[in-house]
Structure 1
Amino acid sequence: MTQQQLADKAGVTRQTIVALEKGNYSPSLELAFRIAHAFNLPLEEVFFYGANSD
């Protein structure tokens, strides 16, 4: 999936996806769920939080 395709599915701009990938932006909970839904994965498989995450 391209950045633009993900952005379209999540209802954001491609620049938002770029910022997320670079770690320059933390998504709202709503956006995080939309992104996880776009990948058909549970939220916790797409996003992680904490210093000990792999």
Structure 2
Amino acid sequence: MNNRVRALRADHGWSQADLAERLDVSRQTVNAIETGKYDPSLPLAFKIARLFGRPIEAIFEPEV
């Protein structure tokens, strides 16, 4: 799954640790999501979308 988490995080000036704290996950989880090694659960994807004020489909998209 492709995602824009890294770009959105950078736009906000947050480190991976900052984002992890806001999402109540580990920094390693944020890193794994950003690098595509881990697809977040649906509740976590909604939490990310709410945090950035975007619809899920504007952040995550399936690989074709």
Shorter-chain TM-score bucket reads 0.7 to 0.9
**Contact 1:6–1:38 (8 Å) recurs in 2:** no
* CA RMSD of superposed structures (Å): 1.0
CA distance in 2, matches of 1:36, 1:29: 10
Unaligned runs of 5+ in 1: none
The TM-score with structure 2 as length reference comes to 0.71
CA distance in 1, matches of 2:58, 2:17: 21
The TM-score with structure 1 as length reference comes to 0.82
Q: Which has the higher contact order (CA 8 A, sep 6+)?
A: 2
Q: Percent identical across equivalent pairs?
A: 45
Unaligned runs of 5+ in 2: 1-13
SS of the aligned residue for 1:34 comes to helix
Point out 4+ residue stretches in structure 1 off by more than 6 angstroms.
none
Q: Greater strand share, 1 or 2?
A: 2
